[in-house]
Every structure is written in C-alpha cells, then in structure tokens.
Chains A and B, each alone.
Chain A
Amino acid sequence: MSKIMRSTIFDVPSSLRITFGGPMVFLSRTAHNVRAPRIKYPLWYLQRERAKDDQQLTGDNRAFVKEAVHDKFGMPAVIHGISTYDVRSPLSEDSVECTNVEWNPKLQRTGLIARKLGNYPMWLNNGKSVLTTLLQVIDNHVIKYIPPDEFNPPRKPYSCPNHKKQLGCLLVGAESADPQYFTKQYCGLFYREGMMPKKYLGRFMVSPEAALQPGTPLLASHFRPGDFIDVRGKTIDRGFQGVMKRHGFHGMPATHGVTKSHRRGGNVGHGGEKGRIFPGTKMPGHMGNRYRLHKGAEILRINHKYNVIWIKGIASPGETNSIVYLYDTILPLRKHKSPPPFPTSKVLDNDQLIDSYKEDVYKFTEQTITYEEDK
C-alpha cells in the first residue's frame, strides 16, 4: 500500500484492529514516487460521516437534542477566533502531565494541526520584503496517547523492518463539532476522554517522554518565532496535466515546421538494447492532490490571540483554507538550538502578549525604517 495510507490511518480499538505479523516502524512524513492518487476507502477505519437521514424529529425534539449536547459538552463559544464549544473535560483541568524530563535534542515532540489562511508580505528590519504564509492552529486537543508497546497500526511501513519500538503515537484532533453529524463509533473515540468529536484528526509519533494527557489543548505557542518547522499538506489538485505544466518542460517551437507538437515532451526512450522507456521517465499524468512536505520553514511571527503562525515563504502545500500538519523540522542543521516548550506550552492566563516576533522582523507598530549614514 502506498505510504499515504500509512500516514493517514490511525490506530483503531483492538477489536477492529487488523494485525500483521511484521515488525513495526514509525511513519514517514512524506511519500515519494507513489502511484497516482486515487480514492481510498476506508480512509478511517472508524467511519466518520453518518448517512444523512431525516430522523423526522419535531422542532421541540430537535431543540432538546441540541440542549442535551450543550449540557453534556458545553455551550458554543468563540475561543481564539474560532467558533467552537466551551468543553468542560475533567481531564483538561490538570492538563500537562508534570513530567520532570529535561528536553534533549533526541526527543520528539508532538505536532499541530493547522489551517492555511493565505499569504501576505512582511518586512525585515533591513527593509527587505518577504512573503509569508499564515497558518492558524485550529482548536487542537490531545485525544489519545498510545504507548510504543501497544501501538500496532493496521498498515506498517516496510522500508525499515528492523526498527525498534521507541515512539508512541499521539492522536490529536482539531475543530470541535456537533456529535449529531458523526457516527457512533467515531464519537466513541472521544467519549471516554469527555471530549467533543473533532472534525480533523492527526497522528503524531512522539517520544514517550513527550506524551501528553488527553484533553490537553495545543496552542501556537508550542513553537517559537525563529524555529523551523515542516509543513505537511495535500497539494492543489490540478488533474491530468501535460509535461510543460507538470514537469516544466520547454515544449517545442511555435514555428519552424513544427506541427501538432508545440506542447509535447519529445523523445522518451532510446534504441537498440535500451529500446524501452525507462521507469520514472517524466511524462504527462495526474498532478497534485498528494501529500507533500515543505521542510525547514522559518517562523517569523506568532499571534497568540488567534493562534496564527507566520512562516517565511509561500511554498507550503495546499490551497487557502486547507488543513496542514506542522512538525519540528527534520533537517539536522535547523533543529532546535535551545530547549523548546516541552512537552508543550502551557496555557497563558494573561492576555497581554498578543504578538511575538523574530528579532529581525519589522513590527508594524515600529517607526519607519531609516539607514544610518556611514562615515
């Protein structure tokens, strides 16, 4: 199976779990040379969407169901600029488990689920303009932690058979939603933790030391300005495309006797013994709609009020308003130099701190940039 499957399927209850005898390895964040994307079902072993059937409820009954939902989980509220529910999970009271473990570079922290908001320019203190991408961390909560021994995903990567079980799996959900619209099994995932069902789920491989209590909120302050992150998302689906758009070929001339081949790729093979098309030859085909990883994006600014992260560059995959996953970068030279919030940041009580910037980023509240005369 493709690696995409691997990285999107999360753990299932043991009753539903399909077990293979093979050894377990941790997920790879990106997939190369996979087959063209196709509809994969079931994407989640627990079916999420319920069939839309009219339950023929009266208006009163509908209101009662709504009230029951609000009674159980909490009233609708706008928190950090997102319309969600004021969840009263008993577990979120003493959220971060006090693990007195010091951070060291070998420990792997959890990631975040974010929405891509779009791009706009920012300026550096030297007057240079940089384009930034805005990512909003949308109402993230830890749903479940599966220790390394118990973690047994239905589909395993086969690239690394001798891998030792070292990392646990942290299930993170984003965007609370009304449980009426999901199946019973799907809601059951959250029920035990007293959480509302989440619209989006993500599976993050973490060191056992970085495990978090279910119900812990994850905020944008999990990262700091100046950190480097990897952004994983699904690229824009462009459909079946020719080589000029898909691989950036130059095509052929418009004139000089060329007919009907202006946008074609030209020769794809050799003659003689090599008289075949080699595997991996760049040819027309489906473009986009694949998971891709933008590695080593620098964080320039964080807004704590709306949980928005500004990263440098506009290369992160996906359209505006699509879901992306954020990780600490895997690039060796851009890893954390100083200890980050570990296992995650605490919820700040004071609302004083709204924006934090990297040192060399121009703040719009500052004076106009001027250069000093050199002598």
Chain B
Amino acid sequence: MKLEDLRHGTELIKRGFAKMQKGGVIMDVTNADQARIAEDAGAVAVMALQAVPADIRKAGGVARMADPAIIAEIIDTVTIPVMGKARIGHFVEAEILEALGVDMVDESEVLTPADNKYHIDKTKFTVPFVCGARNLGEALRRINEGAAMIRTKGEAGTGDVSEAVKHMKKIMGEIRELAGKEKEELMMVAREIEAPIELVMETAEMQRLPVVNFAAGGIATPADAALMMRLGSDGVFVGSGIFKAEKPEQMASAIVEAVNNYDNPEILAEISKGIGAGMKGQSVDSIPDEQILQTRGW
C-alpha cells in the first residue's frame, strides 16, 4: 500500500469527520491555555477564535477571521481537532484556515458577512465545513453547497438558549412533516423551502438531516446542553458559555458529562452542583434587531 493511492477530501471523509464528533462538546477558545482546559475537560474539538461571541457582540465593528498566529498556537497545543470561523462568503479566509491546518471551517454568522448573496462553495475544499441554520430549507441549502455538518444558529454570545431551542424544534418539526409524503408533495415542499428535491427526499427517507446536526448559540449550562440533546441534537457547541462562566474548568467538565447523561435528571443534578455561576448573558428580547446575528446568511 502506497500513500500515493490515497483520495482526500471526499464527501465520505468530510461527513465522516463530523460523525466522529457526535455525542461531544465543541468549545470556543481564544488562546492556548483555554484550549488546554477544553481538551482536559473532554471537549471533542475546539473552535479557535480571536474573541468569544459575547465579546464580539460587545466590541461591535466588523468581526473577521481570527489572527492566524492564535489559530496556529492552538493547533500546536492540543491533539483534538481545531476548527476556525470564516466570514460568510469569504472563501479566501476559508482557504487560509485550511492552509493553517484547521480541521473544520465554520462559515459563521457570528462574523460580519463578506458576501450578502452567496455562501462559500464548500465542495471545492478538502476540509469539511459546518454552517448554521434556523430551518430545514437553510440547512439543506448549506448541505447542497457542501456543508458536512449543520448547527442551529441560536443567538450566539447571549447565554440565552431560547433561539437554539426554536431552531432545533423548527428543523425537527419540518423533518417530521416530510414523513409519509408522496414524491410530488415533496417536490412542492422543496419549492417552498427553496431546497434541492434530492436532499428533501433523502431527509424524508432518513427522517433526519443527511449530515450531523449540532446545537449552538446560547448554550450556557449543563442543563442547556442536556436540553438540546433531548431535542435531538447530535452534540453541542458551547461558545461564550465556558470561558464567561465563573469557573470555566468546572463548567467545561460538567457540560461534557451532561451531554453523556442528558436523559438522567438525577445524574444531571449531581453534575450541576457547585460548578459556579454560568455566564451573565443577555436575553434575546433585549437585543435590538440590527444586532441580531442569526439573520445573517441566506
């Protein structure tokens, strides 16, 4: 067997990578120390960022890809996969992340979009992508563009889980509605939700998204993480919820354990004891429309 006979970046490899993350917690980190804490706590991957979403929100201005020096340092520090965020449509940021050795690119609404019409053509990349979605149509459009993993958008940096709940319930509900429909009915659905018919049919048949589906945006406690798992998430992203908490180490370990024990309230009660306060947060209702992140992306 020679290394030259190998095929890279196939759909199977990209979607397979996402499957290895199932049942896990992916944590936002901004430096090597945080990355080490995340890995020790049992995170399945880290998202390398310049600032966590809560701070991005506070800072305002244009949010871009993180400094490559930060990402490179985090890559050198941990053995688990490292993900990075690129602006929506900014395929050059995505290429830079790929060149740095990032294991998955998040084309993220948390950053300021670089293209107000098109998302990145993700099929052209060797590394897999994860994209946010609020409903089934959005999820299937992203998968059609090559996304190997979907996450709910929620409302990042708030510590308010309500939008993630809304988006997960919406997607799950729309999938359930596809059950038992004839092909012509599915074609009508495909038109209405602006998604390719092939993916609508595949979703109807599988009764789940054709790729791994995580929850993200506002998850701040072990109970939040368990809630999202109960709603059918394959795993969770925790952004500001770890390092804006009073005791990040404890919060990180507790959320990892909560994802493994999501259906056991007695164990969840134990896990949630004495882990310090969660991030302060901000309710989504109190945020002016122009500062809402989830409406970015098309």
Judge: A and B partners, yes or no.
no
